[in-house]
Amino acid sequence: MATLETIVNGMKMPNPFVIGSGPPGTNAKVICKAFDEGWGAVVCKTVSLDASKVINVQPRYARLRSRTSGEIYGWENIELISDREFDTWIDEFKQIKDKHPGGCLIASVMEEYNRDAWHEIIGRCEEAGVDGFELNMSCPHGLPERKMGSAMGEDPTILREVCSWAVEATRKPVWAKLTPNVTRIEDPARAALQAGCSGISAINTIRCVMGVDLETLRPEPSVEGYTTPGGYSSQAVLPIALRMCMEVATVIRDEFPGRVLSGLGGIETGRDAAQFILLGSHCVQVCTGVMKVGYRCVESMCEELLQFMERHGFETLDDFRGHSLQYFSTHAELVQRQAEARAAKHAEHLRKQVISDDAQWDGDTFVDQSDALARG
């Protein structure tokens, strides 16, 4: 009987489906709802020490729909990190752990470029009972003037330093959540792992402009007629997330065995999750998918992932994690493999034309066989 149970960096999860940082983990009420519905773990909405500086606008989302079915497949947000007081969060972490002692609660944290601030935020969350940390090095909008989020994550030198401050402040697992808005995600991944992070979460949202209203001529989402580039998520980003996870997983496999990858970006089904695991993810996160259909989707996701495992005879996630990484190569090697395969096929064709007894005459190659006997 196949099982979805898994242990990631020592954190026990009933299944690999984790609520990704964002509105689905934005307060104790919704986090408890996620545990009640059976999610394997929850990463809370990113918290910081001073929420008074976090000021959101409305509207802050814009969505892209299929022209034919109307289904949402792209989602832009210009939402900042949590605007809720840090002390309130600390109380709620305690309440959540009291109510769900076995639930795996990961604190997403973000701070300024200041070692003491990182020590304080990590220390206080740990005292409140969280099971692990995700460092938000990747929020693509807002707060860059404070050098927070992707302003840190885009620079491997700063990222390495800040990750080391977080790692030295706790013995709990620390994941660095990376931005996809870089040319080579391997560089920040390597920097975070060199700093001692236990894992990488990838990807955060992709910097985007959702569109321009052709009546008002204003870009969207329009806030008093103006906008700012936001972060793109949902189904449309899945192929980019898969590529980046494949690259990070290859770095982990080759240089940092034992570290983990928490894959995300566009996951909405168990079949999506299976692909992230085949490319090296230890667990998978879902954010926008929950905003589209609600918390219950974890049930069908688990069912679909189990069906996939049973079809292939996999008993545990370990049985297929990273299996498909071996099938990536360079374009030059693809050309060479194809030339070899074609040469082998041609040789086989020639071999079949040579008749040594009459039982070998074949209806499909009859004319070629006759020719071959005429050539001698």
H-helix or E-strand containing 64?
A: strand 61-65
The answer to the question of residue 22 lying near ligand FMN (CB under 6 A) is yes
Site for ligand FMN in 123-182 (CB under 6 A): 136, 139, 177
Handedness of CA 317, 184, 267, 166 (dihedral sign): positive
**Cα–Cα dist 176/147, whole Å:** 16
Stretch that binds ligand FMN, among 166-174, 209-217, 233-241, 296-304 (CB under 6 A): 233-241
**CB 65 to ligand FMN: min, Å:** 16
The answer to the question of residue 265 lying near ligand FMN (CB under 6 A) is yes
Binder of ligand FMN out of 90, 106, 286, 298 (CB under 6 A): 286
Pair 287, 264: CB distance under 8 Å:
yes
Q: How many Å is the Cα radius of gyration of the chain?
A: 25
Stretch that binds ligand FMN, among 6-14, 76-84, 254-262, 295-303 (CB under 6 A): 76-84
Residue tagged active-site, from 139, 208, 245, 287 = 139
Site for ligand FMN in 326-345 (CB under 6 A): none
**CB 350 to ligand FMN: min, Å:** 52
Q: Which is nearer to ligand FMN, 160 or 177 (CB)?
A: 177
- How many other CB atoms are found less than 10 A from the CB of residue 261? 29
**Cα–Cα dist 231/341, whole Å:** 44
Angle at 303 between CA 299 and CA 308, to 5 degrees: 150
**CB 368 to ligand FMN: min, Å:** 54
Binder of ligand FMN out of 6, 48, 108, 164 (CB under 6 A): 108
Active site includes 125?
Answer: no
| Tokens 């001073």 -> residue | 50
**Cα–Cα dist 253/257, whole Å:** 5
Pair 147, 212: CB distance under 8 Å:
no
Handedness of CA 143, 82, 129, 34 (dihedral sign): negative
Tokens for 183?
């040319």
Binder of ligand FMN out of 28, 33, 39, 79 (CB under 6 A): 79
How many residues bind ligand FMN (CB under 6 A)? The answer is 27
Residues that bind ligand FMN (CB under 6 A): 20-23, 45-46, 75, 77, 79, 81, 108, 136, 139, 177, 204-205, 233-234, 237, 264-267, 286-289
Give the residue numbers annotated as catalytic, written as ranges.
139
